Amino acid sequence: MLPGLIDCHTHPVFAKPRLIDFEKRIAGASYEEIAEAGGGIRSSQAGVREASRNMLADKVSFAFRAMLRHGTTTVEAKSGYGLSLEAEVKSLEAIREAAKYWPSTVKPTLLAAHVVPQEYKDRPDDYVRLICEEIIPLVAKRKLAEYVDVFCERGAFTVEQAERIFTAARQHGLDTRAHVCQFTPSRLSGLLAHQAASLDHMDCVADGDLRSLASSDTVAVLLPGANYFLGHKEFPDARRLIEAGIAVALATDYNPGTSPTVSMPIVISLACTHMNMTPAEAIAASTINAACALRVQTQKGSIEPGKDADLAVFDVADYREIAYWFAWNRCAEMVVGGELQGFSKD
Ligand code: NIG
Ligand code: FE
């Protein structure tokens, strides 16, 4: 029995899988080349803008139920494929609706700054202004999200733009997190200065940032499902971060472009086989450290008196088997808030 797993980074609000991108990558195109040619995040935008809130909520519910069957009892869920005030609000409403019908805990995040939408292509700062001056205030007022996330990357947003968005988020009482150093390196000091709850991906962190990251309360969330699904040979260097004293968490990054999995046990397995984390480290990274990444460690992430009784029971004789039986779901029972959940094991 483990504490319920915590998936601290997911993008569940999308309408369709991205099979064209998938086949283009198989034929040799890179994620960035596909995005530049109009695929990628922008190609999920039309589906979300056209979909009704209820249709999106059904998709989110379907993913949440599957996560629970794989041992996840707390999930962070981002918007980020609507890319307009209306469609980002609708995405967060879909998360809220799905959360009503899921017994476990959902932590919603506004990711309007996922990519600059086509209509703002030549004036990205106007889109940043829309996020800061309209989307964040409305989302905060309606309590639709607890965090604001930004994708800091070539072709998405700069660290300077992220800092403007973080400033607005904090003015409205929202915590911050960022996608950073996934494909190209960025310096982290600006983001750390805003006390981001987590910095996620972290495939290429500069040596000069290790010390300040280690001494901060910011957790590095590693997402090996994305490296696996993009066919990358390289994975985030977990050992380097752990040895520098940085708190490392793991998550699925469930999304239609780079990581269409709901399985934390697969992520735990990848962390062991491709990132040289021990099974014990990978489990800690998926429970207590992931709780810290969501700042819920006083309630979640370990089995202790006073914390929520969220538990995952695995059909194994040794905890290391959770990492060992890859792509074989051994989660047998779930307990959420002290209540046994009925689900058929598939
Ligand atoms: O975490 N990197 C940015 N966001 C997602 C990918 C989103 C997509 O391609 O749809 C990620 O990998
Ligand atoms: Fe992501």
How many Å lie between the centroid of ligand 1 and the Cα of residue 41?
A: 7
pLDDT of residue 344: 57
Of all helices (H) and strands (E), which one includes residue 22?
A: helix 19-26
Q: Which of 4, 21, 7 is nearest to 251 (CA)?
A: 7
Distance of CA 225 to the CA centre of its chain: 11
Q: Whose CA is nearest to atom 8 of ligand 1?
A: 257
List pLDDT tens digits, range 97-118.
999 999 999 999 999 999 999 9
- pLDDT(342) > 90: no
- pLDDT(346) > 50: no
Ligand 1 atom with the smallest distance to the CA of 14 is 10
Q: Which of 272, 152, 163 is nearest to 201 (CA)?
A: 152
Q: Which of 28-42, 82-96, 200-214, 308-322 has the lowest mean pLDDT?
A: 28-42
- CB of 182 within 6 A of ligand 1: the answer is yes
d(CA 56, CA 35): 23
- CB of 255 within 6 A of ligand 1: the answer is yes
Q: Which of 163, 209, 217, 165 is nearest to 190 (CA)?
A: 163
List pLDDT tens digits, range 207-227.
999 999 999 999 999 999 999
Contact partners, residue 318, CB within 8 Å, separation at least 6 = none
Whole-prediction pTM value? 0.97
What share of the chain has pLDDT > 70, as a percent?
99
Using CA atoms, how far residue 71 sits from 64, 68, 231, in Å, is 11, 5, 26
Ligand 1 atom with the smallest distance to the CA of 81 is 10
Closest ligand to 152 CA? 1
Q: Which two tokens stand for residue 243?
A: 């040895």
Q: Give the confidence band of 38 by pLDDT, cuts at 50, 70, 90.
A: confident
